Amino acid sequence: MSTLTKGKDFLSIDDCSSEQFLGLLSLAEQLKTGKRTASLRGKVLGLVFLKASTRTRVSFTVAMYQLGGQVIDLSPSNTQVGRGEPVRDTARILSRYVNALAIRTFAQAEIEEYAQYATIPVINALTDLEHPCQILADLLTVQEAFGDLAGRKLAYIGDGNNVAHSLLLGCAKAGVSVAIATPTGFAPDPAIVARAEEIAAQTGSNVIITTDPHEAVADADALYTDVWASMGQEEESISRQTLFRDFQINSTLLKQAKPNAIVLHCLPAHREEEITNEVIEGPQSWVWQQAENRLHVQKAVLASLA
Ligand code: CP
Ligand code: NVA
């Protein structure tokens, strides 16, 4: 089974091939169902989180504990990072103490700098550009719901953000067609769209970028949304509530997808904004399985890299 290469970084979905992406999903499924085991005994993961986190922080921590490893919380408020010690120095020092770093920050350039200077694997635990570990859990959930991935269609409704970017790349790698519907001016990064189109051409899937949520959800097997204003965009959250009003997953939009479509959300959710309470609590919601799958894919990522 081809997964991630030991010792390498995982900064973007595009750091793995289609084969490695599907291999990670397979390893996660086998670890989840007990068909396979892995050991990280004696290994230590450092968590450098410059933004809040429940799922990512806890799933990485529990994944390490359950595989026999340990975790050290390197929050900037407790380290010299918070007092401005340069990334290149921090990365080289931490490499001499821990076996891998999971980093949540703002600029992709910052995590790339960590990776450049660290001699241990650096894992993207969310940046403004991407959220690769999330998308592994998302596609594992789609695979569990339908038994397969190739030929499925996922529709993402909302902001063309980090989650949308990783979904574009991840769906394309998995042969899942992806439609992204955003308000005008909030489309995903054109360079990522172009790269997703390139990958999709190889895997026989489609990439659709639109401002029409109805077009996006037609024939979709999975509907996905995320907050309208991401961490770091708090000052825009009020203005975005008006701009994004028509980009809500509600029961009317859900009826326009396939009858057995599942609903996904990376969480945390803002009920009655990007998703209604009725839909997130409804029978088509797979958001809790999706959140659980964060644990299983983190194990697959850690066991491959560390
Ligand atoms: N989905 C996700 O990454 O959640 P957290 O911000 O709680 O880690
Ligand atoms: N797009 C969201 C995802 C949170 C898990 C954010 O960056 O805040």
DSSP-assigned letters across all residues of 57-108: HHHHHHHHHHTT-EEEE--GGGSGGGGT--HHHHHHHHTTT-SEEEEE-S-H
pLDDT at 269: 98
- Bridge partners of 124? 103
Distance 263 CA to ligand 2 centre (A): 17
Q: Tens of pLDDT along 180-211?
A: 999 999 999 999 999 999 999 999 999 999 99
Distance in angstroms (rounded) separating the CA atoms of residues 169 and 54:
24
Does residue 305 carry a pLDDT above 90?
Answer: yes
Which ranges of the chain would DSSP assign to H, the alpha helix?
A: 18-33, 55-66, 87-94, 108-117, 132-146, 162-174, 190-203, 213-217, 237-243, 251-254, 277-280, 287-305
DSSP-assigned letters across all residues of 163-196: HHHHHHHHHHHHT-EEEEE--TT-PPPHHHHHHH
Nearest residue by C-alpha to atom 7 in ligand 2: 230
Does residue 2 fall inside a structural domain? Answer: no
Domain with 96, as residue range(s), is 13-130+294-305
Q: Which ligand is nearest to the CA of 237?
A: 2
- Tell me, yes or no, if the pTM score tops 0.95: yes
Does residue 162 fall inside a structural domain? Answer: yes
Q: Tens of pLDDT along 44-92?
A: 999 999 999 999 999 999 999 999 999 999 988 889 988 999 999 999 9
Give the chain's domain count: 2
Q: How is residue 178 written in tokens? A: 């992806």
Residue 288: is it exposed, middle or buried by C-beta count within 10 angstroms (0-12/13-18/19+)?
exposed
Same-domain pairing of 281 and 301: no
Distance in angstroms (rounded) separating the CA atoms of residues 269 and 215:
23
Among 222, 144, 126, 141, which residue's Cα sits nearest to residue 179? 222
Does residue 4 fall inside a structural domain? Answer: no
Same-domain pairing of 243 and 274: yes
Q: How is residue 271 written in tokens? A: 């009920």
Does residue 268 fall inside a structural domain? Answer: yes
Same-domain pairing of 226 and 115: no
CB contact set of 137 (below 8 Å; sequence gap of 6+):
290, 291, 293, 294, 296, 297
Q: Tens of pLDDT along 207-234?
A: 999 999 999 999 999 999 999 999 999 9
Does residue 1 carry a pLDDT above 90?
Answer: no
Give the strands of the sheet with 122-124, arranged side by side: 70-73, 44-49, 100-104, 122-124
SS3 261: coil
* Residues 279 and 222 sit within 8 Å (Cβ to Cβ): no
Does residue 6 fall inside a structural domain? Answer: no
Same-domain pairing of 96 and 169: no
The domain that holds 56 is classified in CATH as: 3.40.50.1370
Does residue 5 fall inside a structural domain? Answer: no
**Residue 207 neighbours by CB distance under 10 Å:** 21
Same-domain pairing of 201 and 229: yes
Q: Tens of pLDDT along 94-111?
A: 999 999 999 999 999 999
Distance 222 CA to ligand 2 centre (A): 19
- For residue 277, which amino acid is it? N
Does residue 276 carry a pLDDT above 90?
Answer: yes
Same-domain pairing of 154 and 73: no
Among 162, 191, 197, which residue's Cα sits nearest to residue 178? 197
Which residues approach ligand 2 with their CB closer than 6 A?
126, 161-163, 226-227, 230-231, 266
Between helix 55-66 and helix 287-305 the angle, nearest 10°, is: 50
Same-domain pairing of 126 and 165: no
pLDDT at 63: 98
Same-domain pairing of 125 and 215: no
Q: What is the mean pLDDT of residues 102-130?
A: 98
Same-domain pairing of 120 and 161: no
Which atom from ligand 2 is nearest to the alpha carbon of 128? Answer: 7
Place of tokens 């995903």: 188
Same-domain pairing of 278 and 187: yes
Same-domain pairing of 188 and 272: yes
Does residue 191 fall inside a structural domain? Answer: yes
Distance 287 CA to ligand 1 centre (A): 12
Does residue 7 fall inside a structural domain? Answer: no
- For residue 236, which amino acid is it? E
Does residue 114 carry a pLDDT above 90?
Answer: yes
Nearest residue by C-alpha to atom 7 in ligand 1: 54
The catalytic site residues sit at 104, 131, 134, 226, 266, 294
Same-domain pairing of 141 and 286: yes
